[in-house]
Amino acid sequence: MTMLTGRRYGETLVAFFTMLQLMDRYILSKDNEGYYLNVKLHGHSSVIRASNLHVLYVELGKWLVTLPKNYWNQKK
């Protein structure tokens, strides 16, 4: 995996936190094994674990695209 540095890393973090703003609830934590994210969005939930924030960002994006298409037409 390519490590992001400088501006690209900052842009990735902005995108990551923008995705988190979509969530109804989220808990972002760090332990000895890495990071984990417990998310809930309109009745869908997931726990995502990763060794670093970049991988967590990628996994969160993968989870978001697995949501049913009709979700994206719902209004909060």
Q: Is residue 37 part of a domain?
A: yes
Q: Is residue 40 part of a domain?
A: yes
Please give the model's pTM, rounded to 2 decimal places: 0.72
Contacts of 55 by beta carbon, 8 Å cutoff, 6+ apart: 1
Q: Is residue 34 part of a domain?
A: yes
Q: Is residue 58 part of a domain?
A: yes
When divided into structural domains, the chain yields a total of 1
Residue 47's identity, in one-letter code, is: V
Per-residue pLDDT tens digits for 10-54: 777 787 888 888 888 989 999 999 999 999 988 889 999 999 888
The DSSP call for residue 53 is H
Q: Print the domain residue range for 39.
A: 25-69
Q: Is residue 15 part of a domain?
A: no
